[in-house]
Structure 1
Amino acid sequence: MNNRDNDIRFAMLDSAVIAVVDDDELILVSLGSLLRSCGYTVNTYNSGLAFLQSGGAAHTDCLISDIQMPGMCGVELYEALAAKSVHIPTLFITGRPGPPPQFSARVRRPEGYFSKPFDTQALLACIDRALQRRR
């Protein structure tokens, strides 16, 4: 890949909008800060319902959602989007080791699954792959 191709690739990624949905304010702040420092536009939401009500799905290139949240969990958010034919590359994060038993049956083709604390480089690489496939 030459420098021009690299510049185009990074310009595409820099314009990407990433939504982070988590009920933990510390995660919203730290992950939002990390992603902004990488050049992404980041919108944070403290619940799946807040994300749905914001209309943000129409402008989101990648979604990062906690699985375990009060009210609407991350899997329910994923299902609500799919029911509306909204298909956003989705990465799931959780404070518990391993996906819950019903996860695989309910979520098709998640971009990634990360237990907290997660490796930020692995998360960023997964976001990069998801955005490349979406483009």
Structure 2
Amino acid sequence: MSKYPTVSVIDDDPSIRAALNNLLKSQGHVVHTFASAEDFLRSSQLNDTSCVIADVHMPMMSGFELLEQMRAQGHAAPFILITAFADDRTRARALSAGVTAFFAKPFVNLELIACLDEALREHRSETDA
């Protein structure tokens, strides 16, 4: 894993993609953004991603479906789900699906960064072992 982890942001809302891109780059991360899960899966970034931040509700493939596909293909990168439609049922589904974290939009930037940094540290120590 490189010194600067690559984070892939997948969200159909261009303003969320831009905001996360700016936030994460300001923290030293390499960031790639995608408007859909399908675009991400077709990209060269799939195998180079250190962490995924994806929206739950997107046209075509949801964040849950993306997580399932990645895990089925053997990708173990930390996975953070974000949504504007958070409820207890969706949160429980996310946590039982094995996501690293679940955030309701709007989220607190510092909380997301802290969670991302911890997930990357843990993933790095698992892959270095």
Q: Same fold (TM over 0.5)?
A: yes
**Partner secondary structure for residue 102 of structure 2:** strand
**Alignment partner for residue 117 of structure 1, among 84, 103, 106?**
106
Whether the aligned pair in 2 keeps the contact of 1:62 and 1:131 (CA below 8 Å) is yes
Q: Which residue of 1 aligns with 2:127?
A: none
Structure 1 unaligned spans of 5+: 1-10
Deviation, structure 1 residue 55: 2.8
Whether the aligned pair in 2 keeps the contact of 1:75 and 1:106 (CA below 8 Å) is no
Which whole-Å CA distance do the structure 2 matches of 1:32 and 1:65 have between them? 13
**Alignment partner for residue 40 of structure 2, among 51, 64, 72?**
51
Which whole-Å CA distance do the structure 2 matches of 1:97 and 1:75 have between them? 14
What amino acid is aligned across from residue 11 of structure 2 in structure 1?
A: D
TM-score of the superposition, structure 2-length normalised? 0.88
1:87 counterpart = 2:93:
no
TM-score of the superposition, structure 1-length normalised? 0.84
Q: Which residue of 2 aligns with 1:103?
A: 93
| More displaced stretch, 53-62 vs 98-107 | 98-107
Calculate percent identity across the aligned residue pairs.
34
Whether the aligned pair in 2 keeps the contact of 1:32 and 1:44 (CA below 8 Å) is yes
1:21 counterpart = 2:10:
yes
Q: Which residue of 1 aligns with 2:27?
A: 38
Query: How many residue pairs get matched?
Result: 122
Which whole-Å CA distance do the structure 2 matches of 1:106 and 1:125 have between them? 21
Deviation, structure 1 residue 97: 2.2
